Structures are given as structure tokens and as C-alpha cells.
Amino acid sequence: MNITERDKELMREAIRLSRESVEKGGGPFGAVIAKDDQIVAAASNCVTLYNDPTAHAEVSCIREACRKLGTFDLSGCKIYTSCEPCPMCLGAIYWAHLDGIFYANTRSDAAEIDFDDQFIYEEIAKPMNQRSTPIVPLLRDEALPVFRLWADKTDKTAY
């Protein structure tokens, strides 16, 4: 992707939001989603402010953009985030179908200030029976009929 002056402006806004978040007592992360170079949504990290471990800047920004645009598909949009997205945020970005990701600080930079996601990357790579948090299959035979119901549904909204 070519980097434009507008991309830099949008990243500076994400960085400004990260600074503002720290000043308000939140984490040092900010994000902006833009469509056609115009800001659709902006958010900062509110994990400690809302007592919500999913309130990362990117996830909050995706939620706001989806509400504003009235869609769960953010194709045609790009995200500018003050730090390389963590595994949760990266997953949300892919599920939202954003067209591009721009980031400032790296995950190594984040690790240096005690925001280290390396253990999550390592956990994902392990077989389920070797992960630090037990993951136990339960009642699959009772859950599978719901998947069949979905598969057979003719008027579903695919995503």
C-alpha cells in the first residue's frame, strides 16, 4: 500500500487519541477508521475505565464504525492504530473485513511497557490439551443440530 499524507494525518489522530487516553487514565492506544479518507470512527483504549478487557481501541473503533455505517462489513475502510494490533484486535479487524491496517508502535514496543501478547501467540500455536487454560469439549452432539439448522436456513444473512 502506498502511504499518503492523509494516511499520516489519520495516524497522527490515532496517536493523539492514545496520548489522550493515557491522560484520562486509560491505556496508551488509539485507533481511527476511515472510509474514502474521512474519519468514520475514533476510539481509545478503555479497558480500565470500563472494566472491560475487550475495550481495546481497535475493537471499540470497529464497533463505533459499524454502528455509524449500519453494517458489520467494513470493506472499503482502513484502520489506523497507534500500535500493532494484538491477537484479539487483529481477529476483529479480519472479521470486519477492513481493507488495510496501518500501525505505529510495534508489538515489541508494547511488550517493553508491559503490554506483552507473546504468550497468546504461543498459546494459539499449542495443541488444545497443552494450553495453560483448560479447553474442554462438552455436549457437541447437542450443539451440532443448531449448526445444521443454520446450514439449512435459506434466508440467513451470511457474514
Instruction: Give pLDDT, residue 159.
Output: 85
Does the reported pTM lie above 0.85? yes
Question: What is the distance between the alpha carbons of residues 104 and 58, in angstroms, rounded to a whole number?
Answer: 13
Instruction: Give pLDDT, residue 1.
Output: 75
In tens, the pLDDT along 54-68 reads 999 999 999 999 999
Instruction: Give pLDDT, residue 110.
Output: 96
Question: What is the distance between the alpha carbons of residues 42 and 16, in angstroms, rounded to a whole number?
Answer: 11
> Catalytic residue at 58?
yes
* From 13, 58, 64, 122, the catalytic residue: 58
Question: What is the distance between the alpha carbons of residues 49 and 26, in angstroms, rounded to a whole number?
Answer: 6
pLDDT per residue rounded down to tens, the chain (159 residues): 789 999 999 999 999 999 999 999 999 999 999 999 999 999 999 999 999 999 999 999 999 999 999 999 999 999 999 999 999 999 999 999 999 999 999 999 999 999 999 999 999 999 999 999 999 999 999 999 999 999 999 999 988
Cell reading at 103: 500501525
Instruction: Give pLDDT, residue 12.
Output: 98
Closest Cα to residue 15, out of 25, 28, 5, 2? Answer: 28
